[in-house]
């Protein structure tokens, strides 16, 4: 049998069919693989950390260099990967650009990655991040009066949960101690344990960032955490807690905070400082800028590796 006008015999048609079938199957395998390595949520990561008494770093990642630094070091140490990125940090690429970069590098490294919106300052910013492909979000209403924070957070939780996304919220304002960060500009106030219980109950948030003496930026003096307050918060709420302003925290205070329920610890300023110092040092030696950026990436990896060890997440992926 010959297909009219095409010069195709039944034997040739079978060959084409088999080849097409092979490529279809191959494409399905690739799609399945990419599905397995798509950006993941934060809930399972923090549930395990909370139950296991260790912490997981939320490492600042917003471009290919910072994301790759975290991926390489976490993969080498078999640690879960949480990338944190605020809206001011995705200004260059946009939320979809950051999400697609994280997906591509996650696939290349064969490593699961959670991409988390840090300090989403409004409902619109959170929606933008979710629609852009972020797999976890934070709504920061800590600058608002309690009732307004509850309402703003509740609305975000309702929307995010409808999309299968989990939500971090903040109660009590985490301030800042240095000008190298844009976060925490609205002052500092400790989290009240009683309000924390009411807040989680009314909003349905999945994780809670609390203020116990911590601050954003690089500490100019050792902080003094209120561990009694933290212990009462942990007893009052059923969700994993989050420590913002991890950079520069003394190791003894860090370990105690983790033991009292701080399942995620954000690290940004130390990573940024490492990049800046390494890059400027390399450029000052007239190093080609592409090579200088790789040296800066290695400096970031060094910081991330130290935090993985401090938090106890090595081998927990």
169 neighbors 199 (Cβ within 8 angstroms) = yes
List CB contacts of 185: < 8 A, sequence separation 6 or more.
176
Active-site residue, 118 included: yes
Catalytic residue selected from 112, 118, 140, 206: 118
DSSP assignment string, 180-241: T-SS-TT---PPPHHHHHHHHHHH--SEEEE-SS-EES--SS-----HHHHHHHHHH-SS-E
Q: Is 178 helix (H, G, I), strand (E, B) or coil?
A: coil
Q: Measured between alpha carbons, how far is residue 219 from residues 179, 180, 222, 224 in Å?
A: 11, 11, 6, 11
Query: Cα(first)–Cα(last) distance of the chain, in Å?
Result: 57
Rounded Cα distance, 194 and 171, in Å: 11
Q: Tokens 């979000």 correspond to what residue?
A: 137
CB-based contact 50:86 (threshold 8 Å): no
Cα torsion 81, 168, 35, 297: sign: negative
- Whole-number Cα distances in Å, 18 to 2, 7, 8, 12, 24: 18, 18, 15, 10, 10
Which residue spans within the chain are E strands per DSSP? 2-3, 8-9, 56-60, 82-85, 114-117, 137-139, 167-171, 175-176, 207-210, 215-216, 241-243, 262-267
User: 3-state DSSP call for residue 58?
Assistant: strand
- CA dist 193 and 58 (Å) reads 24
The H or E element spanning position 33 is helix 10-36
Active-site residue set: 118
């Amino acid at each position: 049998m010959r297909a009219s006008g095409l010069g195709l015999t039944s034997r040739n048609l079978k060959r084409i069919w088999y080849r097409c079938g092979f490529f279809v199957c191959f494409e399905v395998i690739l799609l399945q693989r990419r599905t397995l390595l798509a950006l993941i949520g934060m809930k399972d990561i923090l549930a395990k950390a909370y139950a296991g008494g260790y912490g997981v770093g939320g490492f600042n990642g917003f471009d290919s260099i910072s994301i790759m630094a975290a991926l390489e070091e976490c993969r080498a140490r078999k640690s879960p990967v949480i990338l944190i990125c605020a809206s001011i940090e995705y200004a260059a690429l946009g939320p979809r650009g950051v999400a697609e970069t994280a997906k591509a590098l996650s696939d290349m490294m064969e490593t699961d990655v959670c991409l988390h919106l840090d300090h989403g300052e409004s409902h619109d910013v959170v929606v933008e991040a979710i629609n852009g492909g972020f797999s976890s979000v934070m709504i920061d209403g800590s600058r608002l009066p309690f009732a307004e924070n509850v309402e703003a957070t509740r609305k975000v939780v309702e929307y995010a949960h409808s999309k299968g996304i989990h939500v971090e919220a903040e109660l009590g304002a985490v301030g800042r101690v240095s000008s190298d960060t844009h976060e925490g500009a609205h002052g500092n106030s400790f989290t009240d344990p009683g309000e924390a219980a009411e807040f989680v109950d009314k909003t349905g948030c999945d994780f809670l960032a609390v203020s116990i003496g911590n601050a954003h930026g690089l500490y100019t003096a050792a902080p003094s955490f209120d561990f009694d307050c933290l212990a009462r918060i942990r007893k009052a709420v059923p969700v994993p807690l989050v420590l913002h302003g991890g950079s520069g925290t003394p190791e003894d205070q860090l370990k105690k905070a983790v033991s009292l329920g701080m399942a995620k610890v954000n690290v940004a300023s130390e990573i940024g400082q490492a990049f800046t110092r390494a890059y400027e040092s390399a450029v000052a030696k007239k190093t080609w800028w592409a090579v200088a950026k790789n040296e800066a990436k290695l400096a970031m990896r060094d910081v991330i590796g130290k935090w993985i060890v401090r938090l106890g997440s090595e081998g927990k992926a």
